Amino acid sequence: MKFEKEFSSQMVQEWQGAYMDYSYLKKHIKALLKSHQQSSNPGFTRQRQAMYRAFSGLTGRSSPKAREEEAVMIPQSAYQTLLMKLSAEGAEQELEFFKKLDLEFDKVRTFHEGKVQGIRENAEELSKQMDALIALRIRVKRPDQVLETAAASVVLSPVARSPEGVHMDVIQEVEDEEKTKDLEGLRPARLQVLEHVKINVDPDTPVSTLKNVIMSSKLELSFSKDELKRAEKKMRKAFIEFHQQLRLLKSYSFLNILAFSKIMKKYDKITSRNASKTYLQIVDTSSLGSSEEIYKLTEKLEASYIKHFANGNRREGMKVLRPGVKRERHRITFLLGLFSGCCIALIAAIIVSVYARNLLQHEGGRQYMTNIFPLYSLFGYIVLHMVMYGADTYLWRRLRVNYPFIFGSKPETSLGFREVLVVASGLSVLTLAAILAHLDLEMDPETEKFRLITELLPLFLVTVVLVITLCPFNIIYRSSRFFLIRSTFHCICAPLYKVTFIDFFMADQMTSQIQAIRSLQYYICYYVWGDFRKRSNECTNSSTYKFLYIAVAVIPFWLRLLQCLRRVFEEKSAMQGLNGLKYFSTVVALVMRSLYDITVQNGNASSFWRIMAAATSGITTIYNTYWDIVVDWGLLQKKAKNRWLRDKLLISNKAVYVVAIVANILLRLVWMQLVLDFNLPFLHRNAMTAVIACLEILRRGIWNFFRLEHEHFNNVENYRAFKSIPMPFYYEKDHHIM
C-alpha cells in the first residue's frame, strides 16, 4: 500500500482537516520533478543561492560552518526558513513547496498544541473529580477512619512548566505499602473536600430528569452506596474517554511526523539536497514531536484505572481501556452465502407451489391474502429494513464514516454489513420456510378448520424473534441487541430520557415502520379475538380496533415530537421547535388519512374526509421533503462549492445526490397514494399496502445514509472525535484544595 493511502486510512476522520495535506504537497513535488527534468542546466540541483521564506516552527541557530553544508537553515529570531544557494531555474517551484510545507507544519503544530492544552484542562478536572471520589469512598466505606490513604491515594496535579518544555504529572500515585506506620510525606485524602462538593444531576434518566426539574441540577451529598456507585460509573467512563483522547492524539502526532519525513525524503531525492535532516530536527523538537508528557500521562492513567477501577487486574483493565480490533470471521461470510442460497431456493419453491397448485385462482386465495398475508408481511418489513441498514453500513465503512462513534456504540461490538445481512438472511429463511409450509388453502371438511400447527406458524415466528432479541445470554450479538433495546426503550419513554443521536435516529426508524406496528396489532386481534382456525377475523371491524389502528400509527411521530420538545427545553433551539412542528403536522395528517381510510372500508366515504386527508397530507409531505433534503441532508445550498449540494461530499459523483433528492421526493409522494385513490387492480388491497410500506422503508434507508454523512461532516467541521462525559461532582467556586 502506498503511504498516501495508508496515511488517509489511519487518520482520525473527524480531524482530517487538521492533518498535513500530503497529497497537495506531493503535487508540488511532482511539479518540482517536472521542472528539474525540463531544466537545461544539469548542475541545477547543486547551484545554491540564499533565499528566505516564511516558516512556522523555530528552535535554534546553525553555526556558520554548518550553513555551508546545509540545504536549509532555521533562523532563531524570524519565522523564516533559509534555503541556501538556489538557482533561478526551478526556484519558484521549490519556494512554493516550502511555503506550503511551512503552512502545513504550522497548522499541524497549532492544532496539536490546542489539543494538548485541552488535555491539560481535562486532566486538571479529572484530578479534582478523583479527589472527591476517593474522599467519598472513604466516607461511605470506612466512615470511622479519617485517614485511610496510606496504602493507596490518587493525587492529580496541574501541569508544571519548565524552560526546557512542558512536563505533565497529572495522575500521581501516592503509594507506600511498606511504610504504612510512617505517614510522613504522604498525602492523606482530605475529607474536607466533600464540604465544597455537590453531586451533578444530569437529566439523562427519568429519575434524574424529574429531580432536575423539581429540585436542582446540583444536590447535596447523601454519602450513600448508590451515590458512590453512580459516581464510580461516571468516573470509569471519564477515564476510558480520556484514555481514548490520549490515544488519538498520539496517533495524530505519529502520523504527521511520518508524513513530514516521507515528503522531505521525496524532496531530497528529487533535488539531491540534504534538507530533510535539518527540517525534521525542527519537527522532532517542536511540540508535535515532544510527546513525552502524553506518553507519561497515558502510563499513569492506565496504572490508576487498573488500581482503582479494575481491582489491580491489569489484563481486565487494559481490555477496557484498549479494546481489541474487531476481526472479520470467515464463518460470517459462509453463513451469509448459505442463508442467501437457501432464500433463493425457498422463493423458487414458493413460486412453483403457487403456480403448480393454481393457488392464485383458488377460492380460498382472497381469504389467505386478507388474513394470513398481513401476518407474514411483518417479517418482510423487518428484513427489508435490515437489508437497507446493511447496505448503509457497507457504504459508511467504505467511505470511512465513523458510524459507531456517531451512534455511541462500541466499535469492537458494532455490527458490520455482513453481520447485519446474516441476521436478515437467517430471518428470511425462517419466514420463507413458514410461508411455504403455510400455503394450505384446503379446510378439513369434517371440522371445517385448518390444522392448528400450520395456523400457529406466524405466531411461532414472532415468539422466536422476541426470544432471540431478549435473550440474556452472550449469543447472536448480545451487545448490539441490548443496545437496540435500550435505544428503543429511551424512545418509548420520551421525553424522560436525554435525547442523543441514536435515540432520535431510532425514533425516525420507527416512523417508517407504521405498517409493522399495525401488523403486531393485527396479531393480537387475529390470535386473541379472531377464530384463527377458520381464518376468520371479525375483530378488525370493531370500533376499538379502528381506534387503535389510528393510535399505533400516531405513536412513533408523537414520541418524536416529545423528543423535539425536550431538546427545545434543554438546548433552547428554534430549529428543534420547527422540527417538532413537522412531526405534529404528520400526526394530524395521519389521523385524517386513517379516518378517511376507515370510511372507505365501511363504504361511506365522504368528500369532506377526503379533502381533509388530502390537504393535511399535502402540507406534511412538502414540509417533510424540504426538511429531509435541506436540514437533515444539508443539501440545496446555493452558495456551496458543489452548487445546490454542499461544500463537502463523500461521493465524488454528484449525480448520486441528484438521484437521491429526486427519489426522496417521489417516495414521499407515494405517501399520498391513499388519498389519491391510486390502486393497481391486479393487486390485493393488503398487497398494495405492503408495497407502499416497503417503498417507505426504502426511502428511509436512503435517508439514513445521507443523514449520517451530514452528521459526519458536522463532526469533521467541529473536530469532534470523542464524546464529552459528564462528571459526577460539582465543585463550588474557588473551593479546590491543592
Q: For residue 428, what are the contacts with CB-CB under 8 A and spacing of at least 6?
A: 339, 343, 379, 383
In the structure, what pLDDT confidence band is assigned to residue 71 with cuts at 50, 70 and 90? low
56 or 466, which is more confident: 466
* Residue 462 is assigned to a structural domain of this protein: yes
158 or 527, which is more confident: 527
732: cell is 463550588
For residue 564, pLDDT over 90 is answered with yes
Question: 591-620: buried (b, 16+ CB within 10 Å) or exposed (e) per residue?
Answer: bbbbebbbbbeeeeeeeebbebbbebbeeb
pLDDT for residue 577: 95
What is the C-alpha separation between 480 and 458, in angstroms, rounded?
25
* Residue 223 is assigned to a structural domain of this protein: no
For residue 601, pLDDT over 80 is answered with no
- Residue 90 Ramachandran class (φ > 0 left, ψ -120 to 50 alpha, else beta): left
> Residue with C-alpha cell 524532496?
267
- Name the residue range of residue 706's domain: 330-717
| pLDDT, tens only, 119-141 | 999 999 998 899 899 889 888 88
One-letter-per-residue 3-state SS of 178-241: HHCCCCCCCCCCCHHHHHHEEEECCCCCHHHHHHHHHCCCEEECCCCHHHHHHHHHHHHHHHHH
730 DSSP β-pair partners: 198
For residue 73, pLDDT over 70 is answered with no
* Residue 527 is assigned to a structural domain of this protein: yes
What single-letter amino acid sits at 707?
Answer: R
For residue 298, pLDDT over 50 is answered with yes
Count the domains in the chain.
1
What is the C-alpha separation between 33 and 266, in angstroms, rounded?
10
170 or 28, which is more confident: 28
180 or 582, which is more confident: 582
467 exposure class (CB count in 10 Å sphere: 0-12, 13-18, 19+):
exposed
* Residue 647 is assigned to a structural domain of this protein: yes
| pLDDT, tens only, 18-50 | 999 998 888 888 887 777 776 644 444 443 433
| pLDDT, tens only, 440-479 | 877 777 777 888 888 899 999 999 999 999 999 998 999 9
pLDDT for residue 550: 87
Across the range 285-301, mean pLDDT stands at 87
Across the range 481-507, mean pLDDT stands at 94
What is the C-alpha separation between 167 and 293, in angstroms, rounded?
5
Element of type H or E holding 103: helix 91-141
Nearest alpha-carbon partner for 692 in 512, 558, 517, 557:
512
* Residue 141 is assigned to a structural domain of this protein: no
| pLDDT, tens only, 410-421 | 888 889 999 999
pLDDT for residue 292: 83
pTM, whole model, 2 decimals? Answer: 0.85
* Residue 393 is assigned to a structural domain of this protein: yes
Residue 629 DSSP class? I
| Strongest mean pLDDT among 92-96, 504-508, 547-551 | 504-508
What is the C-alpha separation between 131 and 188, in angstroms, rounded?
11
pLDDT for residue 153: 43
pLDDT for residue 72: 58
Nearest alpha-carbon partner for 700 in 536, 538, 509, 528:
509
pLDDT for residue 88: 52
SS3 108: helix
| Strongest mean pLDDT among 123-127, 157-161, 305-309, 391-395 | 391-395
489: cell is 426503550
> Residue with C-alpha cell 437489508?
387
* Residue 498 is assigned to a structural domain of this protein: yes
Average pLDDT across the chain, whole number: 82
> Residue with C-alpha cell 443523514?
707
What is the C-alpha separation between 592 and 580, in angstroms, rounded?
19
* Residue 692 is assigned to a structural domain of this protein: yes
pLDDT for residue 83: 59
In the structure, what pLDDT confidence band is assigned to residue 144 with cuts at 50, 70 and 90? low
